[in-house]
Structure 1
Amino acid sequence: MKKKKVSRSEALLWSIALPGFGQLLNGKLIKGILFILIEFVVNMKSHFNLGIMYSFQGHFLDAQTILNFQWLLFYPCCYMYAMWDAFKDAEEADPSRLTYLPFLCGAVTVTTAIFYSTNDYVTGKLFGPIFFPMLALIPGLLIGWIIKKVLEPSSK
């Protein structure tokens, strides 16, 4: 049976849905199962789903109280690494070895934002431990993409 070619966007989107799904799609079964187990353990230990539920209901202080931040701090790095891994293993060739930079910078900004998510000193409005780190992903990805473009050799 011929293996179906998986696009990078397809692998990335499945990995966003659940870390490990992109690896399973790429045919990396052991790695995919390992990422799913890691996500499950960190999710359960950090009470992440309850934090998401409270945040979407606007109960940011309840989300802040229920979350185990020591476990939650593992989540961004595991999540972003699983996304990058699925992205890089997909069939499309990319000559750049720097594809990891946006994912790495995203993981750093989200992890840092978790530290500051309990207090917002800029606007005085609490975005909570779920939405503030999600917002921090955008500048992290942009910074990583810019660094990648600056460091890549020009194709002339």
Structure 2
Amino acid sequence: MNPKERLLWSIALPGFGQLLNKKYIKGIVFVFLEFLVNVQANFNEVIMLSFQGDIEKAIIKADYQWLMFYPCLYFFAMWDAYKDAGGEKDCFSFLPFVFSAYFVTVGCMYSSNFKLFGVLLGPVWLPIIAVIPGVMIGFLLRGILFKINLVRNKNV
């Protein structure tokens, strides 16, 4: 099993990595939840409008009450597929996934009115940009905690 392959399939669609890991019930649940949240949030239409540059219409079409569930579902499914495929080598490998989910959720919350350099990015682009600091802080904290753990284990 290649953990990175499972991760990439989960990025394509939550649940696919679990199906490849032969975790069929979990995979079907994630695929179902992906479709449920996606349809209820109007997310495909929001993505299409965002790619076409119609950010104001994307904001109007987005159902934020549903869209707020998407980041945690998405990043948890990625982490779970990666972990089940043997990708979790240390006890802190979940941190980049968790902090990405946090930052993308906050990006989603502010996406209807936050402007970056005067540009309204909306419910697709701002959350995507928010992945970057989420991953960076997650890896930074992972590194710090890993070093603290090494020092503690060395002193024992």
Asked if these proteins are the same fold (TM beyond 0.5), I'd say yes
Post-superposition CA distance 1:72-109 (Å, at most 9, x none): 00000000000000010003561x11111000000000
Residue among 41, 49, 53 paired with 1:46: 41
Residues 108-148 of structure 1: CA deviation (Å, up to 9, x unaligned): 00000111111124522101110010000011011001100
Q: Which of these residues, 108, 111, 135, is aligned with residue 117 of structure 1?
A: 111
The verdict on how the C-alpha distance between 1:17 and 1:133 changes in structure 2, with shifts beyond 3 A counting, is same
Task: Tell me the SS of whatever aligns to 2:92.
Answer: coil
1:141 paired to 2:129: no
User: As a proportion of its length, which structure holds more helix?
Assistant: 2
Distance 1:140 1:130 in 2: 16
Task: Summarize deviations over 1:34-82 as a string: whole Å, max 9, x none.
Answer: 0000000000000000000000000000100001000000000000000
CA contact (8 A) 2:55 2:121 kept: yes
Instruction: Point out where structure 2 has 5 or more consecutive residues left out of the alignment.
Output: none
Q: Is the 8 A contact 2:115 2:121 kept in 1?
A: no
Pairing 1:35-114 to 2, within 5 Å after superposition: 35-92=30-87, 94=89, 96-114=90-108
CA displacement 1:12-40 (0-9 Å, x = unmatched): 00000000000001110000000000000
Partner of 2:145: 151
Give the aligned partner of residue 3 of structure 1.
none
Normalising by the residue count of structure 2, what TM-score does the alignment of the two structures yield?
A: 0.92
